[in-house]
């Protein structure tokens, strides 16, 4: 730890939290062995630098992306040079990208307030997304309904769109989850686009129609509403929930470490200030518990899909162990076909595999919980891109991202429809 204290002394002991990011950069660092990964983790965990993993260490040879505040640039560069770690700067000025994003978002909001229809090629506020969900339920009352499954820590409603042509007992169902990590805006945008795609393609696309003939689809486009609002009003790069942690000044829990599946294991932290803090106990976050309770009460879910960003990965269980899941062979084949379908539109390449192998160890994740609770077809998408923009994917890539992801999603849903269990 001596080298961390030394370089930390160069910038002083206390720096106020920033919500503007003038001069902040994103470094892409190449790691070659366990020792280098360990040093990077120690560096990021140091309070002196206020660093933030965008893309944490995974396997050797895969780059690591770190957000570096302007006041930490020189000491971090000095440290990387002293350790022989190669790096490049992928984003020269985060605030410049944020200004562009904000200008475009405000321009779109102005047009929609003036009467333009909902623009699926733009990022939206939580209120705008919820209004569009209301609109879909009102326009297609025969098979679309809006269901409130609970509320967030700050008492915002958790709304799900249910697409169903059936009545009576719960039919076999598919759960689509988006926005559990609030800064991953492309996931929320893709989620609401998919809702519109389902209502548009029903009775037009034979695949969608056949799926809805015997199955229901439930779509939660904003799984972490408090965090999402916070990214739009305070800190664009907020990841966690906004719950309070008794005894700590740090806010929030990583909602994708809070599920009751190898809870508090590898890949999660017991430090409330960590981006991957697992929370005081499984399902401590009301946003997670609401989904768990709804799915368990329903009792007939066959597929669970969680949309994240970024890295262009399509993953299946397990995250908490490198042991193969019992259905790994089938899941790998389905994911491979889905990735091929995705690439068929624009050539976007996704890597496929269990999350513990192609990403990093993760305990307490949504898809591991789903799989461990009898939902065999459990997948996580890490959407665009591979790091050029990271969490700041330009809005002009929303439609193309959603369109290509939809092709892969249809492959998965059709497979589930034909392999009910």
Burial (CB count within 10 angstroms: exposed 0-12, middle 13-18, buried 19+), residue 1 = exposed
Q: How far is CA 41 from the centre of its chain?
A: 21
Helix (H, G, I), strand (E, B) or coil at 5: helix
Residue 170 and residue 368: Cα distance in Å, rounded?
23
Q: Containing H/E element for 159? A: strand 157-163
Q: Which residues on neighbouring strands pair with residue 55, listed in sequence order? A: 65
CB environment 371-388: b (16+ within 10 A), e (fewer): bbbebbbbbbbbbbbbbe
Residue 231 and residue 24: Cα distance in Å, rounded?
17
Instruction: Kindly give, in sequence order, each residue whose CB lies less than 8 Å from that of residue 401, ignoring residues fewer than 6 positions away.
Output: 186, 190, 383, 384, 393
Alpha helices in 88-184 (DSSP H): 94-113, 126-139
Helix (H, G, I), strand (E, B) or coil at 2: helix
Instruction: Kindly give, in sequence order, each residue whose CB lies less than 8 Å from that of residue 206, ignoring residues fewer than 6 positions away.
Output: none
- Based on the residue annotation, tell me whether 382 is a catalytic residue of this protein: yes
Q: In what order do the strands lie in the sheet with 52-55?
A: 52-55, 64-68, 25-29, 87-91
Q: How far is CA 172 from the centre of its chain?
A: 25
Residue 80: count other Cβ atoms within 10 Å of its Cβ: 19
Is the distance from CB of 194 to CB of 219 less than 8 angstroms? yes
Tokens at 243, concatenated: 């719950």
Tokens at 124, concatenated: 């939206």
Instruction: Kindly give, in sequence order, each residue whose CB lies less than 8 Å from that of residue 52, ignoring residues fewer than 6 positions away.
Output: 44, 66, 67, 237, 275
Catalytic residue among 266, 382, 403, 414: 382
Tokens at 78, concatenated: 């000095």
Would you name the residues annotated as active-site residues?
Answer: 382
């Amino acid at each position: 730890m001596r080298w961390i204290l030394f370089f930390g002394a160069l910038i002083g002991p206390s720096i106020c939290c920033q919500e503007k990011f003038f001069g902040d950069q994103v470094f892409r660092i190449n790691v070659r062995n366990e020792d280098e990964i360990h040093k990077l983790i120690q560096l990021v965990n140091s309070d002196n630098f206020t660093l933030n993993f965008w893309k944490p260490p995974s396997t050797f040879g895969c780059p690591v992306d770190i957000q570096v505040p302007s006041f930490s640039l020189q000491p971090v560069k000095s440290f990387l040079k002293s350790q022989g770690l190669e790096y490049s700067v992928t984003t020269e000025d985060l605030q410049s990208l944020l200004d562009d994003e904000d200008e475009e978002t405000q321009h779109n909001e102005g047009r929609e307030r003036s009467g333009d229809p909902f623009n699926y090629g733009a990022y939206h506020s939580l209120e705008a997304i919820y209004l569009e969900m209301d609109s879909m339920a009102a326009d297609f009352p025969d098979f679309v309904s809006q269901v409130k499954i609970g509320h967030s820590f700050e008492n915002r409603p958790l709304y799900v769109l249910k697409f169903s042509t059936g009545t009576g007992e719960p039919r076999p169902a598919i759960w689509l989850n988006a926005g559990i990590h609030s800064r991953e805006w492309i996931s929320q945008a893709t989620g609401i686009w998919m809702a519109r795609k389902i209502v548009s393609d029903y009775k037009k696309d034979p695949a969608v129609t056949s799926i809805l003939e015997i199955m229901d689809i439930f779509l939660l486009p904003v799984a972490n509403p408090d965090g999402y609002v916070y990214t739009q009003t305070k800190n664009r790069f907020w990841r966690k929930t906004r719950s309070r942690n008794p005894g700590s000044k740090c806010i929030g829990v990583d909602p994708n470490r809070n599920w009751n599946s190898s809870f508090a294991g590898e890949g999660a932290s017991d430090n409330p200030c960590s981006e991957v803090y697992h929370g005081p106990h499984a399902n401590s976050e009301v946003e997670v518990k609401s989904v768990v309770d709804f799915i368990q009460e329903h009792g007939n879910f066959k597929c669970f899909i969680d949309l994240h960003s970024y890295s262009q990965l399509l993953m299946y269980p397990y995250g908490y162990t490198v042991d193969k899941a019992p259905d790994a062979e089938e899941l790998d084949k389905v994911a491979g076909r889905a990735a091929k379908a995705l690439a068929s539109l624009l050539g976007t390449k996704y890597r496929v595999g269990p999350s513990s192998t192609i990403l990093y160890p993760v305990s307490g994740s949504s898809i591991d919980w789903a799989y461990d609770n009898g939902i065999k077809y459990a997948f996580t998408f890490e959407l665009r891109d591979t790091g050029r923009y990271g969490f700041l994917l330009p809005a002009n890539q929303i439609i193309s991202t959603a369109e290509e992801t939809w092709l892969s999603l249809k492959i998965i849903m059709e497979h589930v429809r034909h392999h009910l269990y």
